[in-house]
Amino acid sequence: MNKETIKIGGMTCAACSQRVEKAIAKLEGISKVSVNLATEKASVEYDPQVIRVSAIKDCVIKTGYQVLASDKNATDEDRIRKQKEIKTLWTKFIIATAFGIPLLYFAMVPMLSWWPFPIPKSLNPMLYPLRFALLQISLVIPIIIAGYKFYTVGFKALIQRSPNMDSLVAIGTTSAILFSLYNTYRIIQGDFGAVEKLYYETAGVIIALILLGKSLEAVSKGKTSEAIKKLMGLAPKTATVISNGKEIELPIEDVEIGDIILVRPGEKIPVDGVVLEGNTSIDEAMLTGESMPVDKKTGDKVFAASINKNGMIKFKATKVGSDTALAQIIKLVEDAQGSKAPIAQMADIVSGYFVPVVCILALIAFLAWFLTGQSLAFSLTIFISVLVIACPCALGLATPTAIMVGTGKGAENGILIKGGEALETAHKITAIVFDKTGTITEGKPEVTNIITVEGVERDLLLRIAASGEKGSEHPLGEAIVRGAQKENMEFLPVEAFEAIPGHGIEVTIDKTKVLIGNKKLMDQQNISLSELKDKSDQLAQEGKTPMYVAMDGRLSGIIAVADVVKESSAKAIKKLQSMGIEVAMITGDNRKTAEAIAKQVGIDRVLADVLPQDKSNEVKKLQAEGKKVCMVGDGINDAPALVQADIGIAIGSGTDVAMESADIVLMRSDLMDVPTAIHLSKSTIRNIKQNLFWAFGYNVAGIPIAAGILYLFGGPLLNPIFAAAAMAFSSVSVVTNALRLKGFKAYK
């Protein structure tokens, strides 16, 4: 299955997004589709053997919407388009208001005997009713022109049997205008009493208010995606490339892998690469959220859009264009913002039926009042109020706006959440399992003790072990190699090498079979450890990992390796426990060593001696206890457990495989970002629930009031103008509430 994101223009409410979603879903070869109103994007999974992307785009166009450019060069174009849209909406609102205020004034003042500024006698409706009616027509026409899209889009959707919010406005205001035109005709015929049944101001003010709501909504929606705009704006436009000894300034899109790039102090790193010359410190806050600059030397990695602070460096480009870390982050955040959380499902279902149901309710309310003896004017007021107060926009925006702001805020703090589902699930977590090495600890262990049996020299043991581990990528093996390098030892040639996952390695050096690994490896090979058992137990109790070395089937010694616990580990674990979350640690280390580390950071539950392939089984066991489990890891061997867990969190300093398998990626290695991610999830879901409560509550309460339920019990009748004001501000309030998430503070 292929994935494609299509930008869609012309959607005005949740009914529109539902309509597009249903139309695409009906196509053969479509396995999954999600249309997001807030981001104006359709995320589609399809079978390229059955259907082409062009056919999906044609479907969108046939449904009555536009397909917008969505390639990487369309970012500025999209920004300009949205700014133009906001400007157009404000212009239309100003025009509608300029004519709407005098229209409302002339319509209402004759009814207010106490008002100190009466209208001119020549326009008095009782004396000159036709002149009064024609004045209102002349004022309402420019307003209708300003809001013409409500009619073109609304009636088109109605004809295609997929009515939307524009349809409600179009039907309501058209009803008011047609009724007013009929009464104007009656005035021409001599029935001057019909002047009291003109509703031009109702139609005019409704359009003006809804244009105001649309303008405010467009501005607010623009603010929800500020995080992604900031990220996109970080990348520099040019790079200084060294070619044939000369410095050439090239556009960023012309830089190729392997190019040598020069970056001076104060300049931005243009693409990802590896430092060849120079020393400097680089501000990587755009990637990690960490404000402290990071020192860089030859061999270190640098990332696009980070800022070179003080030294001049030359580096080799390793990733360009869409492959850079920044581009990957932008794509990840965009995908997350375009995704839907499961909590949105009810709103989606309601949105699909909302507008047709409202139209039916408005008609029922109209007929009920008219058939029970109320006047046509009264019944029409009810009809218009019900149509105009209903707001599918609030329902459609409740979830995606909060997800956009929440995922954007996460990105600002170096927390990349891969989708709405991950964001929602994270707040339900009841247990967290931390991998030990590289997650709770720094992942850069050092040799602390070298203990030998009688007859074996210390230096020989270290030299043989380091020679064997030279081909290993395990952190403990690398520590032994570093230990030998510090003592300037020469490595011996290795004749055979075999890695035994979860156990250690088997090598042949100078025709001697050497085993280096944990207790499991020695037990498997029937090698007795009794000679150094007391020493081994003591090392484990000190939190050190004993690595056993055996030559030709006999124990030769122990090389103890210790990994330093990260500064933030104990604080993060304490914070999680205060949030009511059970914390466990999982490791391949022996139980005594694991418990010593766990004690340092305040963890009670330890899962020790766990082979890499068994980590996912341990997660399953916790899930079987009824817990919602989060796994936090950084290595390739953590990937199956990250996938098995309800939420997988990868530490940013870890492997690409771990990051690919995870639902949330922490760009820093600071474990305080784990409680921050869960806190962000809780804050976002709380915000979504508030939005949904407001959206549902507003419509559930507003429609009956508009239908005249208060009037039935002696209360007031809702004026359509107030109904329009309520509709205009309902969606604005939902977006504004989502924007409150911008005040979210990360745990420090």
- Reduced 3-state DSSP string for 33-87: EEEECCCCEEEEEECCCCCCHHHHHHHHHHCCCEEECCCHHHHHHHHHHHHHHHH
Six-digit token string for 233: 């704006």
- Report the b/e string of 224-256 with b at 16+ CB within 10 A: bbbbbeebbebbeeebbbeeeeeeeebebeebe
Whether 435 is catalytic is yes
CA distance 301 to 287: 13
Which residues are CB-contacts of 361 (< 8 A; sequence separation ≥ 6)?
386, 703, 707
* Sign of the torsion angle spanned by Cα atoms 319, 325, 330, 335: positive
What SS3 class is residue 554? strand
Six-digit token string for 122: 């020549």
Decide: 414 and 290 in contact? Cβ < 8 Å.
Answer: yes
Six-digit token string for 247: 């410095």
Write down the H helix ranges in 503-546.
519-524, 533-541
Decide: 395 and 14 in contact? Cβ < 8 Å.
Answer: yes
* Sign of the torsion angle spanned by Cα atoms 67, 69, 75, 76: negative
Write down the H helix ranges in 635-719.
639-644, 656-661, 673-706, 709-712
Instruction: Give the CB-side neighbour count of residue 394, counting CA atoms within 13 A.
Output: 28
Q: What does each C-alpha distance from 124 to 34, 106, 108, 135, 689 come to in angstroms?
A: 56, 9, 12, 11, 51
CA distance 333 to 346: 24
16 in the Ramachandran plot: left (φ > 0), alpha (ψ -120 to 50) or beta?
alpha
Decide: 133 and 198 in contact? Cβ < 8 Å.
Answer: yes
Burial class (CB in 10 A: 0-12, 13-18, 19+), 166: buried
Which phi and psi (to 5°) does residue 567 adopt?
-55, -35
Closest CA to 384 of 403, 363, 356: 363
Q: Which residue has the tokens 């060593």?
A: 593
Report CA dihedral (664, 666, 671, 677) to the nearest 10 degrees. Answer: -50
Enter the DSSP assignment of 268: B
By residue count, the chain amounts to 748
Please identify which of the residues 435, 563, 646, 673 carries the catalytic annotation: 435
CA distance 30 to 6: 14
Beta bridge partners of 263: 313
CA distance 143 to 632: 58
Element at 508 (helix H, strand E): strand 504-509
Decide: 515 and 504 in contact? Cβ < 8 Å.
Answer: yes
CA distance 414 to 333: 11
Cite the active site residues. 435
